[in-house]
Amino acid sequence: MCPDCEDFARTVLLLGQLALYADTVGADLDFVAVVSPSLAVSLPEPPPGLFPDDYDPDGGPAYPGDS
């Protein structure tokens, strides 16, 4: 597995585990609120082949407040 693929897969796995933890009884939601954005920001570029070649991340609908 390529180094970027391994980092991407590991970070996505950690985000998934954090989401599961957030749904448990007694979870520390302050911890989840602090760690989840840090994990999301640390995602490397997606590995080649994850999205179709014609995928355009800016091609979706406008977000509220965007002109």
Helices (H), the chain: 3-22, 29-41
Which of 47 and 8 is assigned the larger pLDDT? 8
- Residue 67: pLDDT above 70? no
Does the reported pTM lie above 0.85?
no
pLDDT score for 3:
66
Mean pLDDT for the stretch of residues 5-25: 90
pLDDT band at 17 (very low <50, low <70, confident <90, very high): very high
pLDDT, one tens digit per residue, over 22-59 is 999 999 999 999 998 888 888 877 767 777 888 777 77
The full DSSP string for 26-44 is T--HHHHHHHHHHHHHT--
User: Where in the chain are the domains?
Assistant: 3-41
Cα 52–chain centre separation: 18
